[in-house]
Amino acid sequence: MDSQTMEIQKRSGLKKVAVVILNWNGKALMEEFLPGVIEHSPAEIADVIVADNGSTDDSVSWLKTNFPTVGLIELDQNYGFAEGYNQALKQIDHEYTVLLNSDVEVTPGWLDAPLAALDRDAAIAGAQPKILAQRNKAFFEYAGAAGGFMDKYGYPYCRGRILHVTEADQGQYDTEAELLWATGACLFMRTDVYKKEGGLDAGFFAHQEEIDLCWRLRSRGYKLVCTPQSVVYHVGGATLNVESPRKTFLNFRNNLLMLYKNLPEADLKPVLRIRFWLDYLAAFKFLISGHLPNAKAVYEARKAFTALQPEYASLRKENLQKTVLTDIPELRKESLIAGFYLKGKKKFNQL
């Protein structure tokens, strides 16, 4: 633990929650959003800490100059989203940790409802607020909305977002709900559970690592919830462009790895067989729409997944051995793709 982090915890008497913002070359985002995080995170219960992922811009020097009281964990390289948080949380001993993206605008009282849920029920390992789009605040944001679910073939969706279609927020999901996954854009976690259950998968680097973690927790008997009384606004896509082939590669590879790690034995082969065709259908769609690099990225993702299976066999074995909940209600039995394209089910409440 670096000296500044030790001093933070000494001064704070170890406050209830650490709000940890992972930064990589994100000075502009911190300029826009960090002041609001500080303002709306009461100092009596929360430490705001920036974990810098080996930035090469001047964001660290800017932070030290402009916000010297904000905690700083300086990592020696860019570990990616997953391992960056794992490295940071090694230095965190607060009861709760919020994994907060640097492109999130928080609101007054944003900590209250998620922390109350965690206080209320020891079985709740993680929580998220309602996530709306920062650039269009009437709509839910893609990466989390009002809480995450998944279909049998590994397609994530949310209350408020099905595939690429996001809904306007009209209060239709303002009830607390149990989830399969809570978004990594603003993820409240019990710090000890995060560490005990292995944290985020470093091999994922970025994208879908929080879904993998939450699925692992859910299968081990923990609960995840959305507390929509708390609201934040997420820019989204601030690190990788929506059409980035790198993002396509990570999403497809990591999703396949997640299925391999977590699916029960009886489901693994049938699901992966269908996914073979669905993935190449997606590649074909990229191709005919003029996105050849993305089509190639799908192929490369599948090739990487095949190469990584032997390395992930032990993790799959561990997950299956520790599974206590085999029939997870938040895992949809039907195909989301079929419902969306063949039956026109484009809203969560139509499923």
Which pLDDT does position 14 carry in this prediction? 87
- Model confidence, pTM: 0.92
Which CA distances in Å does 87 have to 13, 46, 50, 131? 22, 20, 12, 26
Which pLDDT does position 9 carry in this prediction? 46
Same domain, 119 and 263: no
Same domain, 297 and 158: no
Which pLDDT does position 3 carry in this prediction? 42
Residue 267's domain comprises 245-331
Per residue in 198-233, pLDDT (tens digit) is 999 999 998 999 999 999 999 999 999 999 999 999
Same domain, 185 and 251: no
Residue 95 has, within 13 A of its CA and on its CB side, a CA count of 12
Which pLDDT does position 65 carry in this prediction? 96
Same domain, 274 and 214: no
User: Is the residue at 134 inside a domain?
Assistant: yes
Which pLDDT does position 237 carry in this prediction? 62
Spatial distance between the Cα atoms of 106 and 59, rounded to a whole number of angstroms: 20
Same domain, 192 and 268: no
User: Is the residue at 160 inside a domain?
Assistant: yes
User: Is the residue at 108 inside a domain?
Assistant: yes
Which CA distances in Å does 86 have to 21, 51, 75, 117? 12, 11, 11, 24
Same domain, 78 and 140: yes
**Which CATH number belongs to the domain containing residue 45 in this structure?**
3.90.550.10
For 48, residues 6+ apart whose C-beta sits below 8 A from its C-beta are 19, 21, 34, 37, 38, 41, 70, 71
User: Is the residue at 240 inside a domain?
Assistant: no
Same domain, 277 and 132: no
Per residue in 229-278, pLDDT (tens digit) is 999 999 986 444 457 899 999 999 999 999 999 999 999 999 999 999 99
What residues in the chain have per-residue pLDDT under 50?
1-3, 5-6, 8-10, 12, 238-241
Same domain, 201 and 96: yes
User: Is the residue at 338 inside a domain?
Assistant: no
Same domain, 98 and 138: yes
Same domain, 162 and 29: yes
Same domain, 192 and 324: no
Which pLDDT does position 242 carry in this prediction? 52
User: Is the residue at 342 inside a domain?
Assistant: no
